[in-house]
């Protein structure tokens, strides 16, 4: 099993450009998450999907959109990138729908720089 995979690993964007970060998991997990981690800071939840077909805002959703394409894939889109979105983005998944029910598995991260 590959676990949670993310593409790309690195990306540089100019202000105003758009891009989609891809995430896929092969563990048949129900819930998927997108986090951002700024230098020296903790993880902040952007959006999550508790099950296929549902998505919900997290702590910092502004400037982002998500799509739960199917049970395996959960993408994050930046429509008009801003320097404030420079960060490392992590995708994660868990088996259950509830946060207390199972461990969370993380992808390797995407390092995004917006100039």
Partner 1 sequence: KNEVEQSPQNLTAQEGEFITINCSYSVGISALHWLQQHPGGGIVSLFMLSSGKKKHGRLIATINIQEKHSSLHITASHPRDSAVYICAVSSWDSNYQLIWGAGTKLIIKP
* Helix, coil or strand: residue 84: helix
Residues 6+ apart with CB under 8 A from 2: 26
Rg (CA), the chain: 13
Structure tokens at 15: 């202000």
Please give the size of the binding site for partner 1, defined by CB under 8 A.
Answer: 25
| Member of 17, 55, 58, 61 binding partner 1 (CB under 8 A) | 58
Residues 6+ apart with CB under 8 A from 22: 6, 7, 73, 75
3 makes contact with partner 1 (CB under 8 A):
no
72 makes contact with partner 1 (CB under 8 A):
no
| Member of 19, 38, 75, 105 binding partner 1 (CB under 8 A) | 105
16 makes contact with partner 1 (CB under 8 A):
no
Q: Of the two residues 18 and 51, which places its CB atom closer to partner 1 in the complex?
A: 51
Q: What residues from 25 to 54 belong to the interface with partner 1 (CB under 8 A)?
A: 31, 41-45, 48, 50
Q: How many Cα atoms occupy the beta-carbon half-sphere of 49 within 13 Å?
A: 26
Residues that bind partner 1 (CB under 8 A): 31, 41-45, 48, 50, 56, 58, 88, 90, 92, 97-106, 108-109
């Amino acid at each position: 099993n590959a676990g949670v995979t993310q593409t790309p690993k690195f990306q540089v964007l100019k202000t105003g450009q758009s891009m989609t970060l891809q995430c896929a998991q092969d563990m048949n997990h129900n819930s998927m998450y997108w986090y951002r981690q700024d230098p020296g800071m903790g993880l902040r939840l952007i959006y999550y999907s508790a099950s296929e077909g549902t998505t919900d805002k997290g702590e910092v959703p502004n400037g982002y959109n998500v799509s739960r394409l199917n049970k395996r894939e959960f993408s994050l889109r930046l429509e008009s990138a801003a320097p404030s979105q420079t960060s490392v983005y992590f995708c994660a998944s868990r088996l259950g729908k509830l946060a207390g029910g199972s461990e969370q598995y993380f992808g390797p991260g995407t390092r995004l720089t917006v100039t």
